[in-house]
Amino acid sequence: MEDIKRMLADLEQNMDANNTSTNSKLDKIQESLSPLQAQVSSLTKKVEKLDKGDRRKNVMVQGLAKVGAGQESRVDLENRIINIFHHQLQITDFTKMELDFVRRLGPPKDVTASNSSIRPVIVGLTTERRKFEILRNSNKLKDSKIYIHQDLTDEAREMKRNLVKQMKEERAKGNWVVIRQNKLVPAENKRQNKRALSESPTSAATEVEVNTKRTLTQSHISDFLSQSPSNTEAPKNAV
């Protein structure tokens, strides 16, 4: 019995020693991996920065269907984009020299009943000034099926998708919010309009009450003056 206890004690001691040794080795591995993790994080940030830099002069055009069943040429696509800028966005001084590139995303697809998706078009511009002007005028396309927005990275696009989902949920609750600088903020115009509508009946009633009091007061003063002794002629030669 004593031998068994001694064997178990030795076994437990050996296990503790092995665990200590294993933990020490794992700590050393973790220490050696920490610089690598920092390098990976730094490289990831640099890649994201380069990706954003490549996209900073781009806009994405969605809903622009391909015309005809044949292959779409680059020149035809450029002319269609310029036509949209000229006539629908009313940027009449835009020239082809301001286009860096125009291309559709993804591989070509046959537009059939089972595959009718319209591939978006990426438009590279030569200046950011033009990009901002195009984005400002993009609301003129609201009555069409074409949409123009900034070319975002995959991470930014996913963030915006989540923000749009949250915005719809908040609006369904009656909270009118909009997306500004990658976050939800209250829409001031809507809030001010609602406040004006809620206060207008009270304001109107108050104004009517004040006007009524003013009219009554003036009437009472006129009656008082007409009945005042100073306005009544005293009889002449009164005894």
DSSP states of 56-119: TTEEEEES-PPPSSSPPPHHHHHHHHHHIIIIIS--TT--GGGEEEEEESSS-----SS--PPP
Q: Residues 115-130: pLDDT tens digits?
A: 457 899 999 999 999 9
Q: How confident is the model at residue 110 (pLDDT cuts 50, 70, 90)?
A: low
CA-CA distance, 5 to 30, in Å (whole number)?
A: 37
Q: Residue 47: is its pLDDT beyond 90? A: no
Arithmetic mean of pLDDT, 87-110: 90
Tell me the one-letter amino acid at 159: M
Least confident window among 115-119, 151-155, 172-176: 115-119
pTM to 2 decimal places: 0.57
pLDDT of residue 82: 97
Asked if 137 contacts 89 with a C-beta cutoff of 8 angstroms, the reply is: yes
pLDDT of residue 157: 84
CA-CA distance, 121 to 116, in Å (whole number)?
A: 16
Q: How confident is the model at residue 26 (pLDDT cuts 50, 70, 90)?
A: confident
pLDDT more than 70, % of the chain = 75
Arithmetic mean of pLDDT, 103-113: 69
Q: Residue 233: is its pLDDT beyond 50? A: no
Locate 38 and state its tokens.
Answer: 């920092």
Q: Choose between 17 and 42: higher pLDDT.
A: 42
